Homo-oligomer: A and B are copies of this chain.
Amino acid sequence: MPGEFELIDRYFARPRRGGAGGRGVVLGIGDDAALLELPPACDLVAAVDTIVAGRHFPPGTSPHAIGHRALAVNLSDLAAMGATPAWATLALTLPAAEDAWLSGFAAGLLDLADAHGVTLVGGDTTGGPLTISVQLLGHVPHGTALRRSGGRPGDLLAVTGTLGDSGAGLALATGRLQAPAGEHTTELLHRFEYPAARVAFGRGARGIASAAMDLSDGLTGDLPKLAAASGAAAHVEVARLPLSAALRDVASAQQARDWALAAGDDYELLLAVAPARWDELAALAAASALRLTAIGELRAGSGVAWTLHGAPYAAPAEGFDHFRGPSTQITV
């Protein structure tokens, strides 16, 4: 029933949303392709991430939270490059066009797009199993993007915010973790359902941090990539991992550490920074009321070593939380 699917159009083409008058939008939704104008002396930055029902969010997740997540995971990639997000396209495959679902999903996606000045400039909708791909485009002044490869031995390793909250939130959402409902459980569920991308901080960290990447797969999955790209070894003191009061309240110390290390979905930034530049990075974080924690350092060599109060620590394997399922970025 194509007619049913044509209804979808209206959810993504609201006044002052969906391509009308966005910055740099020469031609938005409604032709064969969008026409966009990059600011002068900038590189184009492009990221794409897919989220699939049952893999990246459990059944029963609100459509508003799904819409938020579909864009947030891409915003986080651009934050890690120090880029300014500008335009998004949406590839939405869904089994049926239900009004309540679509209006919630569109609101979740467009609310976050508005908050970051992002214009939805195109996309398509197709009948099929629920799969959502967002491609996000943005820009960064030539030669200034943060990369994974810029770290050097001697750099401090730092993370924004707190880690493990999203893992606990997912465990609460799926019933694997039982805790009395209250302020802390609400906060953890929110951290899972509404990840915040550190876009402003990433932009500010250009020229200060030597390397950055976003934490989508957990430190145990992501830090080895940054270390390898930078041609360095990494050492992390697990006791320094920033844990929220909410996480410490609902989980054992061991469980909290393991979620912080390996549950993923935190969408905080992992950065390398020369010790001489630490104060600048800390001031940037303070200015945006964002916690910044030094958790270790890069050293000569290769591989990642974890210690807990100085003693070797066996970090849980990436993806130990089986809900996440197989998912990987294409890497060289």
A contact residues vs B (CB 8 Å cutoff): 1-2, 4-6, 8-9, 12-13, 18-20, 26-38, 43-56, 76-78, 80-81, 83, 87, 89-91, 93, 97, 121-129, 131, 133, 135-138, 140, 142, 145, 147-149, 212-214, 229, 318-319, 325-332
Residues of B close to A145: CB separation below 8 A: 26-27, 35
25 example contacts (A-B, Cβ-Cβ < 8 A) are as follows A2-B318, A6-B328, A26-B43, A29-B330, A30-B229, A30-B332, A31-B213, A32-B81, A33-B136, A33-B138, A35-B145, A37-B43, A38-B44, A48-B90, A49-B91, A49-B124, A50-B91, A52-B126, A52-B128, A122-B330, A125-B327, A125-B328, A126-B327, A131-B131, A135-B135
In the complex, A50 Cα to B134 Cα: how many Å? 11
A13 → B minimal CB distance (Å) = 5
Copies of this protein in the assembly total 2
CA gap between A140 and B38 in the complex, in Å: 12
Whether the pair B330, A32 counts as a contact (CB closer than 8 A) is no
> Are B325 and A127 in contact, with the CB atoms below 8 A?
yes
- Give 12 new A-B contacts, CB below 8 A, not counting A35-B140, A50-B126, A127-B326: A2-B326, A26-B43, A29-B331, A32-B47, A32-B80, A33-B83, A36-B45, A37-B43, A46-B89, A48-B90, A89-B135, A97-B326
With A50-B126, A89-B48, A91-B50 known to touch, is A33 a contact of B78 (CB < 8 Å)?
Answer: yes
A2-B317 Cα distance, complex, nearest whole Å = 11
- Taking a contact as CB atoms under 8 Å apart, the answer to whether B37 and A135 are in contact is no
Interface centre among A122, A212, A330 (most CB of B within 10 A): A330
Residues of B within 8 A of A325 (CB): 127
A46 and B34 in contact (CB under 8 A), knowing A52-B126, A330-B122? yes
Q: Which residue of A5, A18, A44, A90 has the most chain B CB atoms within 10 A of its CB atom?
A: A44
A326 vs B33: C-alpha distance in the bound complex, in angstroms? 20
**Could you tell me the distance in whole angstroms from the C-beta of A194 to the nearest C-beta in chain B?**
20
**A90 engages B35 (CB within 8 Å):** no
* CB pair A148 B83 closer than 8 Å: no
- Docked CA distance A36–B29 (Å): 23
- Contact, CB under 8 Å: B330 / A123: yes
Q: Are B4 and A326 in contact (CB under 8 A)?
A: yes
Q: How far is the CB of A27 from chain B (nearest CB, A)?
A: 7
Determine if A319 and B52 form an interchain contact, defined as CB atoms under 8 angstroms apart.
no
Instruction: Tell me which residues across on chain B come within 8 A of A34, comparing CB atoms.
Output: 45-47
